A and B are shown apart, each in its own frame.
Chain A
Amino acid sequence: KAGVTQTPRYLIKTRGQQVTLSCSPISGHRSVSWYQQTPGQGLQFLFEYFSETQRNKGNFPGRFSGRQFSNSRSEMNVSTLELGDSALYLCASSLEGPGGEKLFFGSGTQLSVL
């Protein structure tokens, strides 16, 4: 079974631009979560999608948004990029029900904002 796939692996943008990151979950997983990882901050929860609906949201500004498609693939968008948005963005998928507490992560997208 293929793992969680995130594209692209690396991205370089300039301030003010917008960016879209993609995540394909493990087959059969309907929950997709996004996390931002920065040095010294650990991982911070952005949002979670289940069946095309945002189910949970973390404390990030409205510039961070996401969506999920009917095939469970998810995209995350960041508009009006700021230098502080430079981070590793991790996507994770999980089952619903028993076993759903286990997150399976992708290798992340490293975003650099110049």
Chain B
Amino acid sequence: DIQMTQSPSSLSAFVGDRVTITCRASQAISNYLAWYQHKPGKAPKSLIYAASSLQSGVPSRFSGSKSGTDFTLTINSLQPEDLATYYCQQYHSYPRTFGQGTKVEIK
């Protein structure tokens, strides 16, 4: 199985800050990587697919990038509504695997 190692497990930042979350795959997954936002009591929502493509309707302050087997989700200018847990997921092969999640809090 492909392991997805996500860091940090949590972070706290001010409104307006730039936030970066990383995810490392245990083997090559090309760009078959998605990022999800999960707010308490809500269904997870896809933000980024194919490592760097923005899902329709998602604010442009969210972006994704890839370097080898390392993937990054960046939130430019953090907003109060971005309070959530963020997960990466590989869809290169089965079983699909998620990172452990990063809880983003607002200072």
Our verdict on whether A and B bind, yes or no, reads: no
Binding site for A on B (CB under 8 A): none
Binding site for B on A (CB under 8 A): none
